[in-house]
Amino acid sequence: MSCDEELSKLLQGRGFRMTPQRHAIMHILKASGNHLSPGQVFEQARQSVPGITETTVYRTLEFLAENDIVQPVLTEHRHLVYEIASHEHHHLICSSCGAEVDIEPKALQKAIAGLENQTGYRINAGQITFFGLCPACKQE
């Protein structure tokens, strides 16, 4: 079963249709393998879905994020970018060149447990983005 079929079944299982706009946006994010801004998604989507509007892209991305199909990530400059939510992970992004590294949740387990102990919260979901300099930019 392809990724498109899996995501389509996931939406249908939740009572939603797979529209051409949703299909195009999910395909663009999956094919890119990177985080894309809504503007970047729109530029690519309008080539495959004639008449799609930037508003439709924004609304569709919000809808897909609410349904845990895409994951929004806040960049250092407070812009949202999106990726397919294939698995839970956090991000480390270079402030200079934009290089990205995924951080598995296991690497932050002790810090999260400490936050739970300190605040009394039970943390069941979240996404953390760290910013810094990658090894190459750090040497420059």
pLDDT in tens, 65-90: 888 888 888 777 778 889 887 667 77
Structurally, how many domains does the chain consist of?
2
**Which pTM was predicted?**
0.71
Cα 130 to Cα 88, 98, 99, 101, 136, distances in angstroms: 15, 12, 12, 10, 17
Last residue of a domain, one of 66, 84, 102: 84
Do 14 and 80 share a domain, yes or no?
A: yes
CATH of the domain at 119: 3.30.1490.190
Q: How confident is the model at residue 1 (pLDDT cuts 50, 70, 90)?
A: very low
| 3-state DSSP of 45-93 | HHHHCCCCCHHHHHHHHHHHHHCCCEEEEECCCCCEEEEECCCCCEEEE
Give pLDDT tens digits for 92-121: 888 888 788 888 878 888 888 898 999 999
Lowest mean pLDDT among 20-24, 107-111, 132-136: 107-111
